[in-house]
């Protein structure tokens, strides 16, 4: 398991900054139909912690919101009675190392788990980046 301080050090590595910039340029939004497919496939649950989300569709945009019992918040942070925190579509293999928007490379993650699954961790664990 990689510590937070190591991830912080890696974030400021000049070679990695260039790679992140290149990755952002390559990034393509996940299509709405594919987002809906991932939500249905995973049953609106986070792949890691299995927190059950609530799937909603508004203006033909599908997303999954997290129920209040997981994240107690102020009333102004809610949207239609639900917490505004939405699940993320996470790339199993990060875009910066050649990952794509292929359905087999995508999964649903709550914001907490998506934050823990940092692309630098993937790169170190798979030997792409040496520490």
Q: What is the pLDDT of residues 19-28, one digit of tens each?
A: 666 666 566 7
**24: domain range?**
4-125
Please tell me the predicted confidence (pLDDT) of residue 106. Answer: 93
Domain count, the chain: 1
In a domain, 27, yes or no: yes
pTM: 0.62
In a domain, 130, yes or no: no
Distances from the Cα of 35 to the Cαs of 10, 15, 47, 107, in angstroms?
30, 32, 14, 9
CA 4 – CA 87 distance, rounded (Å) = 23
Please tell me the predicted confidence (pLDDT) of residue 96. Answer: 73
Please tell me the predicted confidence (pLDDT) of residue 28. Answer: 74
- Under-70 pLDDT residues of the chain: 1-13, 15-17, 19-27, 58-63, 65-85, 117-120, 122-123, 126, 128-131
In a domain, 131, yes or no: no
């Amino acid at each position: 398991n990689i510590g937070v301080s190591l991830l912080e050090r890696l974030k400021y590595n000049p070679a990695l900054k260039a790679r992140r910039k290149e990755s952002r340029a390559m990034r393509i939004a996940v299509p709405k139909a594919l987002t809906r497919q991932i939500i249905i496939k995973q049953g609106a649950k986070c792949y890691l912690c299995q927190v059950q989300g609530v799937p909603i569709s508004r203006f033909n945009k599908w997303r999954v919101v997290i129920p209040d019992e997981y994240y107690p918040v102020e009333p102004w942070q809610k949207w239609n009675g639900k917490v505004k925190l939405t699940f993320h579509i996470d790339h199993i293999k990060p875009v910066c190392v050649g990952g794509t928007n292929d359905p087999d490379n995508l999964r649903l993650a709550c914001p907490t788990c998506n934050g823990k699954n940092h692309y630098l961790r993937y790169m170190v664990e798979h030997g792409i980046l040496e520490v």
